[in-house]
Chain A
Amino acid sequence: MIKAEHYLKPAWARRQFELALPLLPPGTGVALQLGGKRLVEMNEAGHDLIEGAPDVQAFPLMLEGERVGTLLLRLPAGGETAQAQTWGDLLAHVLQGMLEAEHGRRSVARETLESYREMALLQRAVTELNHFLKPTAVAASLLKEFDGRKDAADYGAVFLRNPDSASLELIQSFGENAADAFSRLQGSRLFAEMTVRETGDIVNDLPASPLWAGEVADFRALLWLPLIAHGENLGLLVLASRHSDGFAAGDLKRAQTLSSVAATALRNAQLYAAEQDMFQSFVRVIATAIDAKSPYTAGHCRRVPEIALMIADMAHQADSGPFADFVLDEDERNTLQIAAMLHDCGKVVTPEWVVDKATKLDCIENRIHLIAMRFEVLRRDAEIDLYRALAEGKDQEAARRICQERLRQLDEDFAFLEKCNRGAEFTSDEHVARIQNIARNTWHNSCGEELPLLTENEIYNLSVQRGTLNPEERKIIEDHAVHTINMLSQISFPRSLRNVTEYAAGHHERMDGRGYPRGLKRDQLSVPARIVAIADIFEALTAPDRPYRKPGTLNWAIGIMHRMKLDNHIDGELFDLFLSEKIYSTYAQKHLAAEQIDEVDIARYLD
């Protein structure tokens, strides 16, 4: 509607009349009426100046075929009507010209303002919609532009095409019982039509549409737009109104502007999600490869992240105590999970025979059998000695005694060596002396050479005091932590994951700085790195099968970890949280065998 009363300023019109009146007979009255308002009146004679009154001539003012105002002119009595007509025509012509010029200017201005609007909308939409990296968040941000506006839709929804099935899935909506309403919309023939169209449209009288069977009683008008980015149809934006004629062309244009930006943002979000998925699957492949390398660590790389996240989530939730200020945002959580999955990735380059070294004499195969064979040779030598003595007619009793004594000695020695070989118990200095003593026995090989019962290498390995690994082999194992750092530092992690290496590489460090590979102290290690260390130890202690022992019980594992806390090996505050929040128990219920789960009196371990 043209608001002509705004087109001319009263002051300007007044000036126009002031210039015109001296040319007219004295006592002439003029008035300008625009948009139903009297803008100016100059009427010294004081006669009525209204259209239809006697002697008053009216000159219509028109814009686009519409009458928007009137110039009224009244000449004093005795004036000539014809003259009034001439003057009036002139004045009206000038006013008409002004109005038309102003009307033209305003339509240009209106276009400009519309461009300003669109520019502002785009500017805001680009900033807001591209702020999100998740398709659901982009969709929510898009719908927010329509929800709650006074001229806008009562319902709105974003559907995304499932790349595998090509079917449309509702991912975000607003309105009363929106999810239900839109799922019914999905069953309509109109929706089927909407999904195949390449352009959007408005249906303003929905009940009259032949494709509509009243699926949603509340919907009287619909507006829809396909979401297209880079020529790919990603989904659909649908708005619905409770009112017929709910949508105008301007709404469609606005929706188009927003949708074009939203579609690009959605595509970016989908690409980002795909990248994330691909990266995660790579990480899983690596973790699976490490786990598969040894039957004894099967599932380790899968379970450590689980324990680590349980601890980290509890630390995050804590609103008092040492972790009151600890915050784990989504990126950090993701980082921790990946770090925990990859913490052992350096083991890919560790030889299996070291990883799996079940006994001290393991070397691709367990060399204890070689020693057993030599003992068997000595046993037979003893028996040969016996029969030789008998054949030579020596004292039978004495000969038998010597032989039995020798066999007993050999059996004892071998049993002792076998026990040492398993490495389950501490091998003391006396044990080492006995090993050396046993080694002094000699045997004869097939070439008749006299050899010591144990080789230097066998003595060296059997003398390992703790576990089965000799110092060189321990070094190889410890090197996996270095390899982990070397491997991970070659991956160019995105900014959000830049801490993966730090979190993964610190799992063998000790709070007192005596760990490896870098000998870092507690305050040089981040909380997540300390969490991975605890998760790693707990998983290893409770793992179903390790080469050197049976699966441990909860009590046993926690007892060992408690000593590690006292030794300043693991972080005491995290260990306390691990106990007080019963994380061990939650984990045990899910992953441990019934015989491993025993009652833990945590009060014993908490100060």
Chain B
Amino acid sequence: MSENAKIVIVDDETHIRSLLEQTLEDLEGEPEILVAVNGAEGLALIEREHPKLVFLDVMMPLMNGYEVCAAVRKNAVLTDITIVMLTAKGQESDRVRGLEVGAHRFVTKPFDPDEILDLAREILGRS
């Protein structure tokens, strides 16, 4: 696992944030985990901290997940960020839209902690 890898969690729901955070604390190498509570704050955090991995909720106030994702993708400096979108709806159209704006993966809520850990290991393990 690479040094100083950062993970950003952007979700307006407190329990999802803390459940994700608690799950990711089990990662080897203890990457730094940063959280934001809405889309606008999330985008600012991503631009400032340049994490390797972002968990991004779809439905959020101020700026939804698609908008944040699209904004990150437009930023030429942030091309190496992997974005995993979280959605409570399992609709195929959501997935398609997410992939269109540049998300890499989709995870439905409630998430499987093991799937999240495997995903994070896979992404952070890539050089």
Contact = CB atoms under 8 A, between A and B. Distances in A.
A518 interface: no
Given A105-B18, A113-B19, A119 B110 contact: yes
Interface string B13-39: 001001100110100000000000000
A116 B86 CA distance: 15
A499 B113 CA distance: 46
B125 to A, nearest CB: 15
B19 A109 contact: yes
B49 to A, nearest CB: 14
A119 B22 CA distance: 18
Contact of A120 (B15, B19, B115): B115
Contacts of B23: 113
Contact of B113 (A3, A6, A113): A113
A120 B112 contact: yes
Interface in A565-600: none
A3 B22 CA distance: 11
B122 interface: no
Given A105-B18, A109-B19, A112-B19, A3 B25 contact: yes
B113 A109 contact: no
Contact of B114 (A109, A110, A115, A120): A120
Contact of A109 (B18, B110, B111, B115): B18
A106 B25 CA distance: 12
A116 B109 CA distance: 9
Given A3-B25, A6-B25, A116 B18 contact: no
A93 interface: no
Interface in A90-112: 105-106, 109-110, 112
A131 interface: no
Interface in A109-131: 109-110, 112-113, 115-117, 119-121
SS class, residues of chain A in contact with chain B:
helix
A115 B109 CA distance: 12
Contacts of B18: 105, 109
B22 A110 contact: yes
Interface in B75-127: 110-115
A94 to B, nearest CB: 21
Interface in B28-71: none
Interface residues of B, number: 12
Nearest to B109: A116
Nearest to A105: B18
B22 A117 contact: no
A65 B111 CA distance: 33
Contacts of B112: 116-117, 119-121
Contacts of B22: 106, 109-110, 113
B95 to A, nearest CB: 17
Given A3-B25, A6-B25, A117 B19 contact: no
A113 B15 CA distance: 11
A113 to B, nearest CB: 5
Nearest to B25: A6
Nearest to A112: B19
B36 to A, nearest CB: 14
Contacts of A113: 19, 22-23, 113
Contacts of A105: 18
A120 B23 CA distance: 15
Contacts of B111: 116, 120
Nearest to A118: B112
A6 B114 CA distance: 20
Contacts of A106: 22
Nearest to B26: A3
A117 B113 contact: yes
A120 B111 CA distance: 7
Nearest to B113: A113
- Which residue of A109, A113, A120 has the most chain B CB atoms within 10 A of its CB atom? A113
B32 to A, nearest CB: 11
Contacts of B15: 109, 112
Nearest to A110: B22
B41 to A, nearest CB: 15
A115 B115 CA distance: 14
Interface in A1-21: 3, 6
B70 to A, nearest CB: 29
Contacts of A120: 110-112, 114-115
Interface in A486-540: none
Contacts of A3: 25
B113 A116 contact: yes
B119 to A, nearest CB: 13
B108 to A, nearest CB: 10
A120 B113 CA distance: 9
Contacts of B114: 117, 120
Contacts of A110: 22
Interface string A285-321: 0000000000000000000000000000000000000
A115 B110 CA distance: 9
A145 to B, nearest CB: 12
Interface string A432-472: 00000000000000000000000000000000000000000
B16 to A, nearest CB: 10
B112 to A, nearest CB: 3
A105 B15 CA distance: 10
Nearest to B33: A6
B18 to A, nearest CB: 6
Top 4 closest pairs, chain A to chain B, by CB: A120-B112, A116-B110, A113-B113, A109-B22
7 contacts: A3-B25, A6-B25, A115-B110, A116-B110, A116-B113, A120-B112, A121-B112
Given A116-B19, A117-B114, A120-B112, 7 more contacts: A110-B22, A112-B19, A113-B23, A113-B113, A116-B113, A117-B112, A120-B115
Interface of A: 3, 6, 105-106, 109-110, 112-113, 115-117, 119-121
